[in-house]
Each structure stands twice: as structure tokens, then as C-alpha cells.
Structure 1
């Protein structure tokens, strides 16, 4: 009597779990493609917003497309702290953008104001607050790439880009639609690649498992 080769078996539960994970990744990729079209519409709206009439500064995130880059103003009661980021001045030069974390009263979320661009990160702006005019923008984006790609990242807080800078700093470059990259196609491709890699890894794992059992 000759030995019959063991029939390859596919584990039910692991296969279901991997299949669900792959479907979720594909769904996220499709969702990012849909978001790409929505972002294109938002970019077109943001490009026209700087020339539109001023609006009240939003107190809480997210910053909606219809007010992004619109002229606005805030009153910084006191500067609580400073944040330094790489930035570009209105004259095209680069440097360090100084962002004031302001209080606006005894309670409330406060407000962020990009007051100007300096040449040294440790510059101490001679500005303690007051009424500021500028454009509505968003805080610098330091959210993790995976959180942004999955849509689970918290919304960015509103930030005012000051039209004029205090002594010792250059005015920050006015906002443009070019400041808002449309990365949704790249995110979609990443999710599709993740799905494909997951399938390949699982197939290789099954082959190794079956080969080990047949040995």
C-alpha cells in the first residue's frame, strides 16, 4: 500500500480574520479615493477664500472649507507659550515661524496665532498680545501618517496667520491652496498595497504550514 500525500487544509478562522482585514484595507483605499475628489473641491474653495469678506474666527476644530483662509481677527489676551516651526515669510525667505498660544479669557480653548518668521529658533518675539488681523488657517500637522490615512486623526485646531509681524520678525506668507496637499491618492495606494502584502504573506504562511505538516 502506498502512502497518500496529506491533503492541504486551510484554517477557517485565521482565513476569515485575514479576509476581513484585507476587505477593510480595500474599503479604506476606496474611501480615500472618494476623499480625494472632496479634497479637490475644498482646495478650489480655499483658493478663492482670501479675497472673500472677513468672518468670525472659529473657536473649535475642525476648520470648515468655507472659512479656511478667510480674513478674520482675534484678540490675544496674553501669550501663554510659544511654538516654533519651520516657515516661510511673505517676502519668500524661509526661517522659523513663531506661533503664540494665547488665552482669550478665563475659560475657553484659547487661540493660536502665527505672528511672524524669524531667523533663529530661539528668538523671543517682543509681542505680548492684543488685537490681530489675518487669515484663518490650521495648526501645523504633526499627526501620525497612519492615523491620517485611516481617518482617525483628530482635527487640526484653527490658527490665525497674522497679516503684520511684531518688531524683529517678518510677516508670515499669506495662506494659499498650495499649502494644502491632496495626499488622498497616495493614502489609497498605500492601503491597496497593504491589502496585497497581507494576502501574499498569508499565502506564504499557509504554504509553509502545509509543507511542515507534510514533512
Structure 2
């Protein structure tokens, strides 16, 4: 019986165990948490309006809210799929803390000037574009994302914003779990194949 290399086997076993643990974490912990979170978000549009939060609080997504924009500091565009572009104003509010982002409407014009001077805006709370890579969703699941107010009435010359939808909140934890389990399985198969090839080379006569 050929001896199995101890150190490489331990390393591979630890790596496989870690991948299986990550898969179980996604399946048994993160997935139920996300499902409970989505159930809460589904009920949020029917709850009373709240003041727009100064700091990120994802439990308030889709809640009705309002804010006052003293002055738009900048107006930018972000992709909105079939709607073209989301027009987002970053506002000065006069309060301490981060600036207020307001999605004031959508447009298909990628460069046209938007004339909006601010004022009171009502709508609902949503995620603001933050440019986080997909890997951050997996490696930093609890990291806060910036929020913005999505206006229920568009600024002059813009199209109305799309109402809040759970489709905008991904629930990929089952897929993540399957991926980790597959990685663990592939690692095990590759290591077994490597051991068999090594054993055949040892058995070959000089």
C-alpha cells in the first residue's frame, strides 16, 4: 500500500472543509436571513413614512420618505436598463453627515442638461449606485450600502422612476452554496487523480 503524503493531504482536507463550511453557511444561515429580509422589504411600502436616514439602514428600503434638497451639488447619470439612465442629484441639506442623493427621474438622453434646483421631494428609500464588485456581495455581506431617495414625481423633462421591486434585491445564496460545494468536490477529485498518477509513476520500473 502506497503512503499518502501527509502535509499535502492535510492542506487539501482543510481547504475542502473550509469550502464545505462556506457552503453550509450560505445555505443554513445567509439564505434564511435574506428570505426574512425580503419578507420585511415586501411589507415596507405599506408602512408609515419615515424621515430619510442620515446613515445607511437597509431595513428601511422601500419605505416611504421625504427630504428637502437645499441645493443640488451635482447631477449624474447611472444605468437603468430598459429605462435608459437614472438621473441622480447629490444635494446639500444643511445637516451634518453625508450628502443626500435623490433619484429625480429617468431619461434616455445620456448627455442632456437637467435643470433642477432642488426643493422638497417625497418618494421611497432605495440603494444608491456604489460600484461595488460582485465579489463584495459574498466576502462582505454585512457591509452597508449607501441609500438614496427615489422621487415619486420626476423633475421637469424626465420620466417617472420605476416603483420599488424585490427583483432589485438579489437572493443568490443557494447558488453561492452550490458553488462552494462544487469547488470542494472538484478539489477532492483533482487531488485523488493526482495521488493516483503519482502512485503509477512510483510503480513503473526504472
TM range (shorter): 0.7 to 0.9
Q: How does 1:1-215 map to 2 (within 5 A)?
A: 8-33=2-27, 34-64=29-59, 67-87=60-80, 94-105=83-94, 107-140=96-129, 142-152=131-141, 154-215=143-204
Q: Assess if the C-alpha contact under 8 Å between 1:72 and 1:135 holds in 2.
A: yes
Q: Distance in 1 between matches of 2:93 and 2:15?
A: 46
Q: 1:106 to 1:22 in 2, by over 3 A?
A: same
Q: 1:61 to 1:15 in 2, by over 3 A?
A: farther
Q: 1:201 to 1:117 in 2, by over 3 A?
A: same
- The Cα of 1:73 is off from its aligned counterpart by 1.5
Q: Assess if the C-alpha contact under 8 Å between 1:59 and 1:158 holds in 2.
A: no
TM-score, normalised to structure 1, is 0.81
Q: Distance in 2 between matches of 1:128 and 1:134?
A: 17
Identify unmatched segments of 5+ residues in structure 2: none
Q: Distance in 2 between matches of 1:184 and 1:163?
A: 32
How well do the aligned residues superpose, as a CA RMSD in angstroms?
2.4
Q: Assess if the C-alpha contact under 8 Å between 1:9 and 1:210 holds in 2.
A: no
Q: 1:195 to 1:171 in 2, by over 3 A?
A: same
Render the CA deviation track for 1:158-211: whole Å, top value 9, x for unaligned: 111111111110121121223223211111111111111222222233333444
Q: Distance in 1 between matches of 2:136 and 2:15?
A: 17
Q: 1:78 to 1:191 in 2, by over 3 A?
A: farther
Q: 1:29 to 1:115 in 2, by over 3 A?
A: same
SS of structure 2 residue aligned to 1:191: helix
Q: 1:22 to 1:58 in 2, by over 3 A?
A: farther
Q: Distance in 2 between matches of 1:212 and 1:80?
A: 70
If each structure's helix is expressed as a fraction of its own residues, which one has the higher value?
A: 2
- The Cα of 1:214 is off from its aligned counterpart by 4.4
- The Cα of 1:99 is off from its aligned counterpart by 1.8
